[in-house]
Chain A
Amino acid sequence: MKSLILLLSFCSFSALAAVRTEFSGNVEIQGRQSWNNPQARKDYFQNWKKEEFYLGYGNVNGKIMYGQSTIEGNVFARHSRSDLYRGNYAAATFFNFPQKLVARDIFKLQHVHQNDVTRDEVVLNKLYYQWENEEARFIGGRLYINYGLGEIFNPINPFNQPTALTSISQVAQGNDGFGFSLFSSETHKIDFYLLGDKRIDGYDGQIDRTLWAHGELQLSGDLEVDYVIGEDQNRDKLGTQVSYQNNDNLFFFQGLYQTPLLTKKNTRNLVDILLGYDRQLTQKWHVRVESGYQKQNPTTATIVTERFLPTEYFIAVANQYEIHPLLKVSATFINDIKSGFTYGLARLTYSLYENAEAELFGYSPVARGDHADNVAQKLVTQDIGLSARMFF
């Protein structure tokens, strides 16, 4: 009996020793002063002139690995405070972008509370079990699905919104379901997903299914092709991404075709296109250009909260320059080709310590676009803010 206990104890200790755990996370506080567009006050009932908005948020991530198995979870919590909540003004929604932290949601697993001047939310936006061997990977639970080269617009991936234009960092959206990845060769990988979403009809409604395949094929040293095909949010979708490296230049293209809604007659198909270019110009200067077209979806009234890109045809230029190893500046301009509306954002990030940084940020319409008929463009505010973030 003693031998058995000793043997079991030894096995338990050995098993525990083989378990690896990781904890990490980040917290950030930020405050901003915001000025409203006079036209939004006049025409769109956004009756405020100048307001302050304070935001604090954080992620706590835990990971347990044992052999070929992994369990990982992430809790995201956010608290914001502003008088903008009192009038239910749209700006507060933009400042909280991305507001939707679970893109395909069956299990809820979130708490949101809003009163006169504050909004609190706690979301379990990642919790999955993963098993893998040499050729395949199985994953189930609430997943991050993150692929595609677009940083400002990334149409081939409907499961994670690009956050390049927001003031929030280290945020990704969860998706409820299962995934299976097949590494068929060193140059070809296919991911299959079965996901669900209940929120369209409320949590008591039926599950909207997503059946999705995403493949990555390395055709040569310079050329890589991604393809996506499947059914998602009641549309059949087919798309591709082609990326090509020529000397020091990276060119990429994305195209996504979406059929009319499968469950409703007389709806439109949708097409999204992206052209991109990326280059490290010097040791300190990085530039990226993204240009594209997204067909407006008339069934999505809140286009800004969904995509943070209130334009149909756009061109964006993003620069990042390292002034000093501790100090980086980035500036991005997005132009709506049709209306002339141009939006600029700039960030100055200073590394305070190894795990802490401060950021001064500013958002402003550079050109209002004389012929703009897009409501969302008129709601865009002018902001200046300061944030401090820590990583652990």
Chain B
Amino acid sequence: MVNMKINFRPRELFFCAALGVNANNADEWWKYSDDQMRGDQSRGHMTMTITTPNWKRTLEIESDVNGTKEALSTIIAPAKEKGIRTLRIEKNMWNYFPKLKRKVAVSSSMLLASWMGSDFTNDDILKASSMSSDYSHTFLPDEKWQGEEMRTIENKAKSDSKVMWPKIVTLSSKKDCLPRINRYYDKENNLKRVLTFSEVKNFDGHKVLTIWKMRPTDDESKETTLIYNKIDFKVKFPSSHFTQKTLTQ
């Protein structure tokens, strides 16, 4: 892992050391961030709002996550999609349509697909990829954002990881070591979308950025906001939870 040499910065070292993060190691910044926001197991309740100048659409989702290996999401609202579940085990995915009692295996390429017409992908919702394990991290020179000097981390996809974005540049706050902006670049190094994070809340001892706003660069009038209303990090799923049986209940 290559880390850029940086100058000794006592102030940020103080904050991050207090959190148990080595300020000079970009890998540790992401590991800390993933641990905080993802945990080992969690059940989250989210509201997603897709907004354009002409229309607005809101969805509610419940998402159960077991590390990076397993996830089960259920749409709570609106009525049109209510009850649709998606189970992911490693890279295998199944959708279940309860009204028709229909379970279908879906190609892992569906992880790239837009989630319900939003600017988020299935991968964003089902958390198949992990920033700390699928990317290698390098510090870039600091950037100022909203009056705060931010740590800039360049994340490049590892050669063996199957992720959608080859490069993501992250601005992280030096106060809590959590990201505030992710900039996603395609293979041609064009900036395609920008994700901003805000509103840190504490759920079961985990600091979580609860408001995520995704803006595609090709249509700046469009925006998808994902709000984590609640996350239960103390939940303990039985071994049978991430299975076909639970999917088809």
Contacts and interface: CB of A to CB of B under 8 A. Distances in A.
Interface of A: 22, 24, 59, 61, 132, 134, 137, 144-147, 149, 170-172, 183, 186, 189, 216, 221, 224, 243, 245, 247-250, 278-284, 286, 322, 325-326, 351, 354-355, 357, 391-392
7 contacts: A24-B83, A144-B101, A146-B100, A183-B245, A189-B245, A248-B109, A279-B109
B8 interface: no
B99 interface: yes
Given A183-B245, A354-B78, 16 more contacts: A146-B102, A172-B102, A186-B240, A189-B245, A245-B92, A245-B107, A248-B109, A248-B112, A250-B109, A280-B112, A282-B112, A286-B110, A325-B52, A351-B57, A391-B78, A392-B79
Contacts of A146: 100-103
Nearest to A23: B79
Contacts, number: 108
B106 interface: yes
B105 interface: yes
Given A146-B103, A170-B99, A279-B109, A391 B243 contact: no
A28 to B, nearest CB: 12
Contacts of B238: 134
A357 B107 CA distance: 27
B207 interface: no
Nearest to A183: B245
B245 A245 contact: no
Q: Which of A249, A322, A391 has the most CB of B within 10 A?
A: A391
A24 B243 contact: no
Nearest to A224: B105
Interface stretch (B39-47, B114-122, B141-149, B175-183): B114-122
B113 interface: yes
Contacts of A351: 57, 117
Nearest to B216: A283
Interface residues on B, range: 35 or more
Interface string B218-229: 000000000000
Contacts of A245: 91-92, 107-108
Contacts of A216: 244
Interface in B56-110: 57-58, 78-80, 82-83, 90-92, 99-110
B205 to A, nearest CB: 30
Nearest to A389: B80
Contacts of B55: 326
A133 B87 CA distance: 20
Contacts of A145: 101
A351 B54 CA distance: 13
A172 B91 contact: no
B222 to A, nearest CB: 8
A221 B90 contact: yes
Contacts of A134: 238, 240
B114 A249 contact: no
A216 B94 CA distance: 13
Given A186-B240, A189-B244, A278-B107, A322 B114 contact: yes
Contact of A249 (B107, B162, B249): B107
A63 B79 CA distance: 15
Contacts of B90: 221
B21 interface: no
A354 B91 contact: no
Contacts of A243: 105
A245 B244 CA distance: 18
Nearest to B219: A324
A391 B105 contact: no
Nearest to B55: A326
B240 A284 contact: no
A354 B101 contact: no
Contacts of B244: 183, 189, 216
Contacts of B239: 186
A325 B109 contact: no
A99 to B, nearest CB: 18
Contacts of B117: 322, 325-326, 351
Given A283-B113, A283-B114, A325-B114, A24 B82 contact: yes
A54 B162 CA distance: 49
B157 interface: no
A283 B50 contact: no
Nearest to B78: A354
A346 B18 CA distance: 60
A250 B58 contact: no
A61 B117 CA distance: 26
A250 B245 contact: no
Contacts of B112: 248, 280, 282-283
Nearest to B80: A391
A206 B52 CA distance: 60
A56 B239 CA distance: 45
Contact of A280 (B50, B83, B99, B107): B107
A249 B109 CA distance: 7
B100 A172 contact: yes
A61 B106 CA distance: 26
A286 B113 CA distance: 9
A221 B103 CA distance: 17
Contact of B105 (A132, A172, A250, A286): A250
A186 B110 CA distance: 23
